[in-house]
């Protein structure tokens, strides 16, 4: 039985650990090591996460099971179109893939997005990431390609969307 809890600044260490443990196996086959390290430091640095959580620009949730934290997600309404909720992050420890934790996190985000009056859930995913199949299976569709700069690197993504009901 999994429980999903709203994250606070007290959960930053948990989120950072989950990110480290999820990113390396996920991105090592598709991104250079220096890019992974740069992005982890830029996105999941303690100060960056604290600012993100405290300002409310993203809301984080953490999934726990009997063995502790197993994954997390973050989301927020797009400032330029508050009918779109952006799923900024979704990571589950690799040993838990296929257990329904990712789907549970997305279902929780969907409920929260609907409660915020969003009509669409949107995410970016690296065009080489095998998770694309998972997203398509649960109802996301590719709407466009997008190349996003991050420091000296580029994230070569698909933008995917799901209608909320």
For residues 95-100, average pLDDT: 94
Sign of CA dihedral 30, 140, 22, 50: positive
- The model's pLDDT over 20-29, given as tens digits with 9 standing for 90+, comes to 999 999 999 9
CATH code where residue 122 lies: 3.40.630.30
How far apart CA 105 and CA 2 sit, in angstroms, is 10
DSSP for 29-41, please give it. TTS-HHHHHHHHH
Determine the pLDDT at residue 120: 98
Q: Which domain holds residue 86?
A: 3-163
Q: How many domains does the chain have?
A: 1
SS3 7: coil
Task: Tell me the pLDDT of the chain averaged across its residues.
Answer: 96
- The model's pLDDT over 126-158, given as tens digits with 9 standing for 90+, comes to 999 999 999 999 999 999 999 999 999 999 999
DSSP for 40-70, please give it. HHHHH-HHHHHHHHHHTSSEEEEEEETTEEE
Query: What's the length of the chain?
Result: 165
- Report strand pairing: 81-92 vs 141-150: unpaired
């Amino acid at each position: 039985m999994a429980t999903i809890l709203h994250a606070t600044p007290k959960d930053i260490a948990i989120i950072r650990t989950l990110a480290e443990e999820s990113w390396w196996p996920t991105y090592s086959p598709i991104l250079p090591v220096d890019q992974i390290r740069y992005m982890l430091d830029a996105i999941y640095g303690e100060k960056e996460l604290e600012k993100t959580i405290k300002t409310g620009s993203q809301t984080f949730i953490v999934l726990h099971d009997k063995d502790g934290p197993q994954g997390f997600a973050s989301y927020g309404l797009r400032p330029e179109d508050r009918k779109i909720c952006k799923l900024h992050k979704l990571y589950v420890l690799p040993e838990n893939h296929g257990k329904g934790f990712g789907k549970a996190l997305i279902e929780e985000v969907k409920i929260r997005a609907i409660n915020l009056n969003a009509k669409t859930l949107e995410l970016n995913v690296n065009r080489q990431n095998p998770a694309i199949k998972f997203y398509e299976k649960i109802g996301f569709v590719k709407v466009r390609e997008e190349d996003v700069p991050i420091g000296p690197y580029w994230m070569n993504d698909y933008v995917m969307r799901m209608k909320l009901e």
